[in-house]
Amino acid sequence: MPVNAKHALVLEDGTGKVLMEKNADAVVPIASLTKLMTAMVVLDAKPDMNEKIRIAQEDVDTLKHSASRVRVGAEMTRLAALKLALMSSENRAAAALARTYPGGLAGFTQAVQAKIRSLGLSHTAIAEPTGLSPANTSTAMEVAKIANAAARYPEISQITSDKKDVVPVNGRPREVHNTNRLVGAKGWDIQLSKTGYTEEAGRCLTMRMTSAGKPVTVVLLDADGSAQRLRDAAKIRQSLAKLHS
């Protein structure tokens, strides 16, 4: 498969037929693609999404010291935190969702392990909710399963397929933009999307989209940069158009 990403997979939804693949069974770090898992586990607990939660000192990334646009002490609803975590890949929001999970972080971690088992993921390990840790690993094949499971949650599909949204933080509206520039772009029909990046994982992307009238799941892991990741996605779309023409 002529893509820059070291691991890639395109699956036909419904049939599960592999249309293209490249090293799709190698276990590698998945960075913020983790947040799809975090979102599912949080929603499974059926918490009050309008309840206010506050960003705490322990939500701050001490591992990578990644930048954040949400200050410690910032207050928002759980739904706002979910939107920040999924759309703009805000690590503190994801950490706060896990920390305020029933039973705290320990309860969250247990629920994640149960979710991994229930989805039948034998090559996926999740150590924490953001994806900053290189110990969060999976394969392109299993990331496709995670994306397919996440797509069954209307909230996740809706949030991740929006180009932008306005989210109240501390009662003030804040505009958030999708980290995947292809969402809402001309000619792209994307129903679910999540990007990821850490030094260890490279540039990652998973999305469910309709191409040439066919629904497919795309996974790209460890591309060499944002431009390459977008180029890979465009190449895949062109190949699919030829395949289905």
Q: Is 89 a catalytic residue?
A: yes
* Residue reference for tokens 């003030």: 172
pLDDT value of residue 1 = 67
- If one counts every other C-beta atom within 10 angstroms of the C-beta of residue 22, the result is 17
**C-alpha pair distances (Å), 3 with each of 58, 140, 222:** 39, 14, 11
Using the predicted structure, report yes or no on whether residue 244 has a pLDDT greater than 80.
no
Residue 180's contacts (CB-CB under 8 Å, 6 or more residues apart) are 190, 193, 194, 195, 205, 207
Using the predicted structure, report yes or no on whether residue 171 has a pLDDT greater than 90.
yes
Q: Tell me: the pLDDT tens digits for 110-132?
A: 999 999 999 999 999 999 999 99
Residue 6's contacts (CB-CB under 8 Å, 6 or more residues apart) are 22, 23, 26, 28, 202, 221, 222, 223
**How far does Cα 43 stand from its chain's mean position?**
14
* Residue reference for tokens 């770090």: 29
Q: At residue 9, what are phi and psi to the nearest 5 degrees?
A: -155, 140
Which of 131, 115, 149 is CA-nearest to residue 198? 131
Whether pTM > 0.95 for this model: the answer is yes
**What length does the chain have?**
245
Residue 194 annotated as lining a ligand binding site: yes
User: Which residue of the set 68, 83, 88, 89 is catalytic?
Assistant: 89
Q: What is the dihedral of CA 66, 96, 122, 180, to 10 degrees?
A: -50
Q: At residue 163, what are phi and psi to the nearest 5 degrees?
A: -70, -40
| Six token digits for residue 155 | 């909230």
Strands 164-169 and 190-198, by their bridges, are: unpaired
User: Which residue of the set 32, 138, 161, 193 is catalytic?
Assistant: 32
Domains and CATH numbers, the chain: 7-244 (3.40.710.10)
d(CA 143, CA 221): 9
Q: pLDDT class for 177, splitting at 50, 70, 90?
A: very high
